[in-house]
A and B are shown apart, each in its own frame.
Chain A
Amino acid sequence: MPKLEVKNLNINFGGIRALNGVSFVVEGNQLFGLIGPNGAGKTTILNIINGVYHPSSGNIFLDDKDIVGLKPYQIANIGVGRTFQNIELFKNITVIDNLLLGRHRFIKAGILSGSFYLGKCLKEEMVNRDHIEEIIEFLEIEVYRKKIVRTLPYGIQKRVELGRALSMDPKILLLDEPCSGMNTEETEDMARFILDIKEEMGISIMMIEHNMEVVMDIADQICVINFGTKIAEGNPKEIQSDPKVIRAYLGED
């Protein structure tokens, strides 16, 4: 079971200390919620795990291997998938093509065989297409399969982005506000998909989410960040009754 361990993470942007000694462990097959007020540093943590930023100090271990200093593509190659707060899909190509792009790390055919669609490439494409079709079925987006992403409703685009992250066969998924901007029904669907990903595919999930109802409902473990510092960690029940968390969210008085 893949396990993600973040140890004493610090990062400075100019004179600002954005993260201050944050540590936590995402156990194998766990749904780990990361919450905190705006600007607390949640997305920064994802960006560091992802290799977009490099921490000033601290370590990140994926299955006991330190991944700090690796390039984003290398980190993707060892199985860290991700979705973004503002959808980052290729808007002018179809859903299928977006998902196939997620399979990039499995596609080995070169330019020559790719251009002429030769034997090996054809076989490879079939295997990968088969794989993404499973994801399409899983996320119930059959009807949008051949649609250009730009033309799809927001909630569906979010689902497609999740699909792209899944298509790379991740060991762990980093989801940045998967339910933002969604109506109640779309949120419920998304929550169900996230739970199914954990349970059916055995993928660990780390999720930033502002919709407290969703987080409290589906997360196994929650970590609360405020001003770059971890202020609490525990299961949803513990977090809900933690005075420090209440103070961070409702303000001091």
Chain B
Amino acid sequence: MAALTLPILFAHRVKELGEGVALREKKKGLWRRISWDEYDTHVRNFSLGLKSFGLRKGDRVSILGDNCPEWLYADLATQSAGGISVGVYPTNSYVQVKYILDHSQSRFVIVKDQEQADKILLIKDQLPFLEKMIVIDMKGLRKYDDPLLTSFHEVEEMGRRIHEGNPTLFQEMIDNTKSDDVAIIVYTSGTTGPPKGAMLSHQNITSVLDSFFEVIPISRWDSLVSVLPLCHVAERLFSLFIPMKSGCTINFAESIDTLQADMTEISPTIFLTVPRILEKIHSAITIKMQDAHPVKRWAYDQFLPLGQRVAERRLSKQDVSLFLRLAYFFAYLLVFRPLRNRLGLLQVRECVSGAAPLSKDIMKFFHSIGLMVKEAYGSTECTGVFSMPVGNDIEIGTTGKPIPGWEYKIASDGEILIKGPAVFAGYFRDEEATKNAKRDGWLYTGDIGEFDDQGNLKITDRKKEILITASGKNIAPSEIENRLKFSPFIKEAIVIGDRRPYLAALIQIDLDNVADWAQREGIPFTTFKSLSKDPEVYKLIQGEVEKANKEMSRIESIKKFVLLEKELDRDDDELTATMKVRREMIEKKYGDLIERLYK
């Protein structure tokens, strides 16, 4: 087993499942199936094609674009040829793309479409290492005659011809991969400073897979829809690596616009998500219910509290009485089941949320409709997963127990330290950051947390983000922020209060929902700015803040807040690629505004 690498694992699955469905892609309105054999052929041809371009062992290949089967082919093909694949967020600006391509010294870049290709063409002169850009969808690009550019199809054709001439070459290439070779580099979006490239070896990934399957067994009959960006380690784990081990099916939606409908058609059994998406689903349901038919609205209003009662009893491990169970059964049939069906989440048996802390209220909401959302904790540096609840043993507010294979301890300052075969190989071309993160084999996660008496991990916050108020109390801002964000009218909240007498917040309203509310109330507005400045809107948010304050201790309550007059934006460096708030940047930028909160 020691010599197991991802391409070898993939080959096992191909041999086992052959004609079975590996991927589905919606094209021309129909779901097209791609079997494991076809998957393998694409990977093989593309890999040989890359090789013929001169890809050497250890060379970096960047992939830039939205999720699609070719993304997976390119990734595996690179690894099969001994290369290292680097995913880049398709939403990155050309400046950010340039940083990653330059830092990783990529010789090849695979782009999805014209939009991404144009970014590369803009910066190609500043990328001395770049030799070829391979384009998946040539629409709008056929007239470009830049020698840098080749189509994905052409590379596959080259590979196919090579394979005909030398049918054993690809097998030799796979046999040459070593388990401690670096397989992928994941650039972390980092809330501070430029992104760092975390190197993950084949062994890191295969060992995390082994532990993962002990907690959530996934079979070939499971299916997932690939939605989150593939360059993120969690999505890569779910869309590429887990299927290699389990044989489950991955589905690609037609476009972002059709995602909802496509989800309903596929009805996946596994759902990997992030708090932001769950928040969005929750507020969409809340708002849409107001426009629903009165009978539907009545049923929803009656049954949701019932669902919540059952969910709370289950979460606190109390017995649910027969009467309640019966009532819940009816509520499920009449309301929750159709609702879940509409969301495309009817068949979901494992729903994992990660990347950021999830508010307890959102979690309870999904449990009420029978969707047992569980929170996992992990980071790129520990190959995605460290702890996760097993089965329905979910302790709200915790991220479950560490998965097998990890050693762990809590440092004296509360930082979580972990050790094991899946701790990453180091940051690419950054010795110093590596030394900071990895000392004596222990990974310093930078997160503060503790274990409860049952051994569940409770994350307090990022070490850097803990606030210490003027009175000396330590406060984790993310929990308070999540309480605020539970309101459908609040999209983003940043709690301030480090070395200050009380807590204050910068709040960004949710444009869609507040605009909808303003229309009902007959409040005229033109733009986001005019809406944020409206005194009625301020009152609305004040009510929401007070609601959140009620559930928190006096010291944790928000005394003052101000509404941001502009939406936070990635292009202004206020959010990371994963839409996390860059606190440091915002505190600097809105310094004046913050000062006014303390006058």
A interface residues, Cβ below 8 angstroms from B? 130, 133-134, 136-138, 140, 142-143, 145, 192, 196, 199-200
**Is B28 a contact of A143 with CB atoms below 8 Å?**
no
Least Cβ–Cβ distance between A97 and chain B, in angstroms: 14
**Closest 5 A-B residue pairs measured CB to CB?**
A133-B28, A143-B257, A143-B258, A142-B254, A199-B143
**Is A200 a contact of B139 with CB atoms below 8 Å?**
yes
- Report A-chain residues with C-beta under 8 Å of the C-beta of B147: none
Least Cβ–Cβ distance between A184 and chain B, in angstroms: 15
Given that A133-B28, A136-B29, A137-B28 are known contacts, is A142 also in contact with B255, CB under 8 Å in the complex?
A: yes
A140-B29 Cα distance, complex, nearest whole Å: 12
Q: Does B142 contact A (CB under 8 A)?
A: yes
B interface residues, Cβ below 8 angstroms from A? 27-29, 139-140, 142-143, 254-255, 257-258, 261
Interface centre among B28, B254, B258 (most CB of A within 10 A): B28
16 residue pairs bridging A and B, Cβ less than 8 Å apart: A133-B28, A136-B28, A136-B29, A137-B28, A140-B255, A142-B29, A142-B254, A142-B257, A142-B258, A143-B255, A145-B29, A196-B139, A199-B140, A199-B143, A200-B139, A200-B142
- Report A-chain residues with C-beta under 8 Å of the C-beta of B142: 199-200
**Is A133 a contact of B258 with CB atoms below 8 Å?**
no
Least Cβ–Cβ distance between A15 and chain B, in angstroms: 49
A138-B138 Cα distance, complex, nearest whole Å: 12
- Report A-chain residues with C-beta under 8 Å of the C-beta of B140: 192, 196, 199-200
- Report B-chain residues with C-beta under 8 Å of the C-beta of A145: 29
**Is B139 a contact of A138 with CB atoms below 8 Å?**
yes
A87-B28 Cα distance, complex, nearest whole Å: 25
Q: Which residue of A lies closest to B28 (CB)?
A: A133
> From DSSP, what is the main secondary structure of chain B's interface residues?
loop
Interface centre among A130, A134, A142, A192 (most CB of B within 10 A): A142
- Report A-chain residues with C-beta under 8 Å of the C-beta of B254: 142
Least Cβ–Cβ distance between A45 and chain B, in angstroms: 29
Least Cβ–Cβ distance between A78 and chain B, in angstroms: 27
- Report B-chain residues with C-beta under 8 Å of the C-beta of A133: 27-29
Q: Which residue of B lies closest to A145 (CB)?
A: B29
A171-B338 Cα distance, complex, nearest whole Å: 49
A199-B258 Cα distance, complex, nearest whole Å: 27
Least Cβ–Cβ distance between A206 and chain B, in angstroms: 20
A145-B261 Cα distance, complex, nearest whole Å: 12
- Report A-chain residues with C-beta under 8 Å of the C-beta of B258: 142-143
Q: Which residue of A lies closest to B140 (CB)?
A: A196
Least Cβ–Cβ distance between B449 and chain A, in angstroms: 42
Q: Which residue of A lies closest to B253 (CB)?
A: A142
- Report A-chain residues with C-beta under 8 Å of the C-beta of B261: 143
- Report B-chain residues with C-beta under 8 Å of the C-beta of A134: 28
A136-B257 Cα distance, complex, nearest whole Å: 14
- Report A-chain residues with C-beta under 8 Å of the C-beta of B255: 140, 142-143
A137-B25 Cα distance, complex, nearest whole Å: 14
**Is A130 a contact of B28 with CB atoms below 8 Å?**
yes
Least Cβ–Cβ distance between B65 and chain A, in angstroms: 16
A124-B254 Cα distance, complex, nearest whole Å: 25
Q: Which residue of A lies closest to B259 (CB)?
A: A143
Q: Which residue of B lies closest to A192 (CB)?
A: B140
Least Cβ–Cβ distance between B30 and chain A, in angstroms: 8
A133-B29 Cα distance, complex, nearest whole Å: 7
- Report B-chain residues with C-beta under 8 Å of the C-beta of A136: 28-29
Interface centre among A138, A143, A145, A196 (most CB of B within 10 A): A143
A142-B28 Cα distance, complex, nearest whole Å: 8
A196-B141 Cα distance, complex, nearest whole Å: 9
A104-B53 Cα distance, complex, nearest whole Å: 47
Q: Which residue of B lies closest to A193 (CB)?
A: B140
- Report A-chain residues with C-beta under 8 Å of the C-beta of B143: 199
Least Cβ–Cβ distance between A190 and chain B, in angstroms: 14
A133-B261 Cα distance, complex, nearest whole Å: 17
Known contacts A133-B29, A142-B257; 4 further A-B pairs (Cβ under 8 A): A130-B28, A133-B28, A137-B27, A145-B29
Q: Which residue of B lies closest to A196 (CB)?
A: B140
A143-B26 Cα distance, complex, nearest whole Å: 12
A145-B140 Cα distance, complex, nearest whole Å: 23
A196-B142 Cα distance, complex, nearest whole Å: 10
A138-B137 Cα distance, complex, nearest whole Å: 11
Q: Which residue of A lies closest to B143 (CB)?
A: A199
Least Cβ–Cβ distance between B116 and chain A, in angstroms: 15
- Report B-chain residues with C-beta under 8 Å of the C-beta of A142: 29, 254-255, 257-258
- Report A-chain residues with C-beta under 8 Å of the C-beta of B257: 142-143
- Report B-chain residues with C-beta under 8 Å of the C-beta of A140: 255
A247-B142 Cα distance, complex, nearest whole Å: 40
- Report B-chain residues with C-beta under 8 Å of the C-beta of A192: 140
A134-B257 Cα distance, complex, nearest whole Å: 17
A196-B254 Cα distance, complex, nearest whole Å: 21
Least Cβ–Cβ distance between B90 and chain A, in angstroms: 16
Least Cβ–Cβ distance between B527 and chain A, in angstroms: 15
A166-B142 Cα distance, complex, nearest whole Å: 20
A67-B105 Cα distance, complex, nearest whole Å: 60
Q: Which residue of B lies closest to A144 (CB)?
A: B257
Q: Which residue of A lies closest to B138 (CB)?
A: A200
Least Cβ–Cβ distance between B136 and chain A, in angstroms: 14
- Report B-chain residues with C-beta under 8 Å of the C-beta of A200: 139-140, 142
Least Cβ–Cβ distance between A28 and chain B, in angstroms: 16
- Report B-chain residues with C-beta under 8 Å of the C-beta of A130: 28
A200-B261 Cα distance, complex, nearest whole Å: 30
Least Cβ–Cβ distance between A30 and chain B, in angstroms: 14
- Report A-chain residues with C-beta under 8 Å of the C-beta of B28: 130, 133-134, 136-137
A134-B258 Cα distance, complex, nearest whole Å: 16
Least Cβ–Cβ distance between B464 and chain A, in angstroms: 39
A125-B136 Cα distance, complex, nearest whole Å: 29
- Report A-chain residues with C-beta under 8 Å of the C-beta of B139: 138, 196, 200
Least Cβ–Cβ distance between A61 and chain B, in angstroms: 28
Least Cβ–Cβ distance between B142 and chain A, in angstroms: 6
Q: Which residue of A lies closest to B261 (CB)?
A: A143
Least Cβ–Cβ distance between B113 and chain A, in angstroms: 11
